[in-house]
Amino acid sequence: MNNYSPKVGLKNSEEFIGYYENSLKQLNIDYKIVDTNQSDFDFYISSESLKIDNYDLNEISSGFVVTLARSKQGQIVVYSVSSFQENEVITPASNLSESNASKFQSEAIELATKINLEGAIEVLFSNTTSKLCKVNSLPTFLSVWTLDAAVTSIFENHVRGLLNLPLGSPKLLDSQVVSVQVLGGNYSDMYRPFLHI
């Protein structure tokens, strides 16, 4: 067991529960999957812990996203700005200047600091007005690319941020990453859609 061994509860309702489990195992942190809040845990790995009023106002189907994590001590890591449209994410955003990317990252950092964020968020910006229009209080498909294409995934950094552990590097492992979400539904043969992608 790790020298730092808090009792961690992982809600079985988490959308990406397997990714959080892998992160906890890699960090050698003892955890238990739970149905509801129980008082005997030091921490919960939960996507429901953050509500940001006035930012979850607009649905957005395309734009730019800044993914970042922050620890209780105030350490922040910011991933490359991605562009997204429907179910496709391109990192770094190919249609965004470096100055605008830096502006988006700075605004996201300012928000994370202002709300004393612990964990991870995705900050979404409009591709027409460049204004902040939505905040996701958990990693979504917009950040799943970090599992294979960043030194440290946003899921691991979310766990690290919540447990106040040092955050890992958000550096890209390749110069360009394209991520596509395929919604298969009841269709079990995903080979052809994969070839299409």
Residues in CB range of 149: below 8 A, 6 or more apart: 91, 172, 173, 174, 177, 179
In DSSP terms, 62 is beta-bridged to 85
Taking residues 163-178, what's their average pLDDT? 94
Question: Burial level of 57, CB count in 10 A (0-12/13-18/19+)?
Answer: exposed
Q: What is the pLDDT of residue 117?
A: 92
**Using one digit for the tens of pLDDT, what is the confidence trace for 13-69?**
777 888 888 898 988 888 888 876 666 776 677 655 455 555 555 667 889 999 999
Q: CA triplet 75, 82, 105: central angle to 5 degrees?
A: 40
Residue pair 33/161 in contact by the 8 Å Cβ criterion: no
**Does the pTM of the predicted model rise above 0.85?**
no
Mind listing the pLDDT tens digit for each residue in 106-149? 999 999 999 999 999 999 999 888 899 889 887 888 999 999 99
Distances from the Cα of 75 to the Cα of 28, 58, 117, angstroms: 21, 29, 10
